[in-house]
Amino acid sequence: AQSVTQLGSHVSVSEGALVLLRCNYSSSVPPYLFWYVQYPNQGLQLLLKYTSAATLVKGINGFEAEFKKSETSFHLTKPSAHMSDAAEYFCAVSDWNSGGSNYKLTFGKGTLLTVNP
């Protein structure tokens, strides 16, 4: 069974500071990895994904993540935080459901990012 651990349920940074949100995964097969963002009272928006191509993945809104197989990590970073980045961030791992031709996402518990002026 796959699992995702997000270290830190709450991360607080100052505007302009580096954002680092940590994600570690457990998977018996090469994983597909995702970061989603959820703004208050909204749905989940895909930030970026790793699908076994380049290990450094660039996403929307200036975010990027690096897949490190040796560390089983997929940490999300952004060089300079904006107030608009304040949201809940979810890391997820996907496995292929061979019985039914679809992918099932297993999520971490989320990290709430607050950005201080």
- Applying CB under 8 A, the residues found at the interface with another protein are 32, 34, 36, 38, 41-46, 49, 51, 88, 90, 94, 97, 99-107, 109-110
Rounded to a whole number of angstroms, the minimum distance from the CB of residue 44 to another protein is 4
Q: What one-letter code names the amino acid at 14?
A: S
Rounded to a whole number of angstroms, the minimum distance from the CB of residue 79 to another protein is 25
Count Cα neighbours of 78 within 13 Å in the Cβ-side half-sphere.
25
Closest by Cα among 93, 72, 108, 87 to 19: 87
Rounded to a whole number of angstroms, the minimum distance from the CB of residue 74 to another protein is 14
The total number of residues written for the chain in this structure: 117
